[in-house]
């Protein structure tokens, strides 16, 4: 997956004046912190250099994860065409770009971000967009109550991991209250990220929400540790991205966990592929989460006809 051309060009312009050695050093620290999910009191990026490093090495991956989550929503709810959006912990506006790409009719968005530096860069990037109309607000969701008009689409991407455990339930409750249709929460695709998604999922189901993705059911998750539910999206690396990460491979895989819930029930399309397909000559094995609440491997061979063809074309995260 690649960034939309307007966003990619805007990011390239923002990065053009930063010395490569500074970018590489700062990107290494940032990437390590994300891998470790280390929370050391630096949840809000404080300097221009750190934001630029984020634009180079984290924005493409975050965009890919959020955009893939939105694609699953669009598949489950083809009737859903949000006009208004709210993004909490917006960073440089990554989720807004993904939403506008998925739903071109999006007309108005409110982006809430705690870091003034992140907000400044986000406003610079989103100025490139002709639509939707975008309003920014500086607010720390760990401290401030979120007020405003309810929105069709509400998003919370890579934010729960930066909050204390006791702050997460009331934030999820508040966001559901501000959701007129669909709420999407995305977290890193780690066992800890999955546990945060599971807790939010349970809370939202108890609050009357309908799960529309990725789960094909609202039962207790059938996976047990050390297994966990996560997905991966391949991200194209630009030349500068490769240089910032001292990498030779022109891509990387961003792993993420997510849940999308709605006030409207969606028709269950089928099972969800929850691991990379294992393919061999004339057969493919898929790890599936099924509508009946079970999960496990299923083998498809040529003798299965149309089912085998669908299974062969499936990918990690596909519905079957």
Instruction: For residue range 164-193, list pLDDT tens digits in order.
Output: 999 999 999 999 999 999 999 999 999 999
Higher-pLDDT residue of 239, 293: 293
How much is the pTM?
0.93
Higher-pLDDT residue of 172, 238: 172
Contacts of 237 (CB under 8 A, 6+ apart): 60, 245, 247, 249, 250, 251, 252
Q: What is the CA radius of gyration of the chain?
A: 19
Give CA 274 to chain center in angstroms. Answer: 16
Q: Does the pLDDT at position 292 exceed 70?
A: yes
Mean pLDDT across the stretch 2-21?
Answer: 87
pLDDT band at 71 (very low <50, low <70, confident <90, very high): very high
pLDDT tens string 251-281: 789 999 999 999 998 887 789 999 999 999 9
For residue 77, the model assigns a pLDDT of: 95
Name the residue ranges covered by the structural domains of the chain.
5-262, 272-313
| CA distances to 75, 121, 201 from 91, in Å | 26, 9, 23
Higher-pLDDT residue of 14, 87: 87
Average predicted confidence (pLDDT) for the chain: 91
Superfamily per CATH, domain 5-262: Vaccinia Virus protein VP39 (3.40.50.150)
Mean pLDDT across the stretch 159-166?
Answer: 92
Residue 291: φ, ψ to 5°: -60, -25
pLDDT tens string 141-151: 888 888 889 99
> CA 162 to CA 167: how far, in whole Å?
10
């Amino acid at each position: 997956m690649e960034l939309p051309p307007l966003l990619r060009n805007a990011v390239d312009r923002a990065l053009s004046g930063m010395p490569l050695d500074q970018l590489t050093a700062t990107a290494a620290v940032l990437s390590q912190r994300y891998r470790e999910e280390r929370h050391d009191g630096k949840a809000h990026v404080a300097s221009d250099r750190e934001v630029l490093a984020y634009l180079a090495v984290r924005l493409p991956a975050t965009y890919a994860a959020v955009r893939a989550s939105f694609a699953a929503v669009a598949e489950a709810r083809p009737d859903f065409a949000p006009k208004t959006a709210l993004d909490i912990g917006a960073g440089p506006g990554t989720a807004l770009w993904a939403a506008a790409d998925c739903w071109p009719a999006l007309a108005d968005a409110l982006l809430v971000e705690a870091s003034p530096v992140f907000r400044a860069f986000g406003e610079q990037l989103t100025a490139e967009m002709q639509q939707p109309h975008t309003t920014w607000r500086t607010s720390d969701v760990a401290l401030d109550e979120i007020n405003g008009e309810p929105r069709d689409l509400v998003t919370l991407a890579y934010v729960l991991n930066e909050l204390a455990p006791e702050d997460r339930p009331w934030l999820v409750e508040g966001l559901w209250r501000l959701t007129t249709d669909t709420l999407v929460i995305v977290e890193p695709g780690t066992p800890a990220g999955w546990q945060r998604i599971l807790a939010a999922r349970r809370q939202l189901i108890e609050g009357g929400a309908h799960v529309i993705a990725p789960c094909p059911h609202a039962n207790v998750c059938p996976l047990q540790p050390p297994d966990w539910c996560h997905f991966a999206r391949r991200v194209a690396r630009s030349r500068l991205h490769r240089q910032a990460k001292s990498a030779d491979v022109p891509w990387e895989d961003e792993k993420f966990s997510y849940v999308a819930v709605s006030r409207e029930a969606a028709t269950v399309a089928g099972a969800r592929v929850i691991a990379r397909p294992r393919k061999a000559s004339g057969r493919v094995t898929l790890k599936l989460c099924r509508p009946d609440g079970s999960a496990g491997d299923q083998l498809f061979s040529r003798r299965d006809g149309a089912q085998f063809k669908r299974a062969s074309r499936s990918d990690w995260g596909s519905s079957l």
